């Protein structure tokens, strides 16, 4: 289970922004990111969820059951570090604890994105391994600390579970070594970053690499 996190100091909100303006920026970032994920087909139906942490520790997150390509401002609500609603109407995403877990583990994390792409779903169901391994791809450089294609990164695959608290206990020990995010088998990806732009870049990078893996399986070695 996620632990409470200390207030975050270095999130990408200009110091001059008041609390209300900071909230507005977070909501705008989430709405734009939802539209971008939708254009790629990574959040079909009402799938996926997106969040953004504010400097006061509140987490702006998409409400349960809404389409991420057509988000309105009132479909973004706020939860605390434990996942309890502190602002807005309705239930937060069913997978809120997977977001708060990431924020608790990584004090610099400011945005978390979760989508249900075809590539992540098909590949993770086809493979029995506990991770996908990527080597030699130029786009590996999108992940933190990577400066060359000549590297190898592991993307953990964890089994799906409708009990999100239990799923958190499976993910927890894997988090410190995660450089790409992770995939829930037959379900989708989780990525994060120290801004919404960084999180989006990593999601796009990861989905590109997953699509490459899927294509490679169609081509005889
Ligand atoms: Zn999901």
DSSP assignment of 84-147: -EEESSSPBPTTHHHHHHHHHH-TT--EEEEE--HHHHHHHHH--SSEEEEES-GGGGGSTT--
pLDDT tens sequence across 135-166: 999 888 888 878 888 888 999 999 999 999 99
Cα of 6 from ligand 1 centre, angstroms: 27
Cα of 220 from ligand 1 centre, angstroms: 32
pLDDT tens sequence across 48-85: 999 999 999 999 999 999 999 999 999 999 999 999 99
Nearest Cα residue to 83 out of 172, 180, 165, 185: 165
- Note the pTM of the prediction, 2 decimals: 0.90
Is 116 annotated to bind ligand?
A: yes
pLDDT at position 3 is 44
Tokens 């702006």 -> residue: 60
pLDDT at position 9 is 47
pLDDT tens sequence across 159-183: 999 999 999 999 999 999 998 999 9
Instruction: Identify the structural domains of the chain with CATH numbers, from first to last.
Output: 19-217 (3.40.225.10)
Question: Phi and psi of 7, rounded to 5°?
Answer: -55, 145
Among 15-29, 131-145, 155-169, 180-194, the least confident range? 15-29
Is residue 7 scored above 50 in pLDDT?
A: no
pLDDT bracket for residue 93 (50, 70, 90): confident
* CA 160 to chain centroid: 16
What pairs with residue 154 in β-bridges?
133
Is 114 annotated to bind ligand?
A: yes
Q: How many angstroms separate the CA atoms of 87 and 93, rounded?
A: 14
Cα of 48 from ligand 1 centre, angstroms: 5
Q: How many angstroms separate the CA atoms of 210 and 118, rounded?
A: 9
């Amino acid at each position: 289970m996620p632990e409470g996190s200390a207030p975050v100091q270095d999130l990408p909100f200009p110091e001059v922004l008041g609390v209300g303006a900071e909230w507005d920026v977070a909501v705008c970032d989430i709405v734009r990111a939802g539209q971008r994920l939708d254009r790629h087909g990574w959040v079909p139906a009402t799938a996926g969820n997106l969040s953004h942490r504010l400097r006061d520790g509140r987490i702006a997150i998409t409400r349960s059951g809404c389409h991420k390509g057509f988000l309105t401002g009132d479909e973004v609500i706020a939860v605390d570090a434990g996942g309890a609603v502190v602002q807005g109407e309705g239930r937060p995403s069913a997978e809120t604890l997977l977001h708060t877990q990431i924020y608790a583990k990584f004090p610099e994390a400011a945005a978390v994105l979760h989508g249900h792409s075809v590539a992540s779903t098909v590949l993770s169901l086809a493979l029995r391994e506990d991770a996908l391994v990527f080597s030699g791809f130029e786009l590996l450089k999108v992940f933190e600390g990577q400066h060359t294609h000549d590297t190898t990164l592991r993307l953990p695959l964890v089994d799906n579970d409708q009990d999100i608290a239990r799923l958190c206990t499976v993910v927890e020990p894997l988090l410190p070594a995660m450089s790409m995010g992770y995939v829930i088998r037959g379900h989708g990806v989780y990525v994060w970053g120290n801004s919404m732009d960084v999180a989006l870049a990593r999601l796009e990078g990861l989905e590109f690499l997953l699509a490459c893996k899927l294509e490679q399986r169609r081509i005889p070695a």
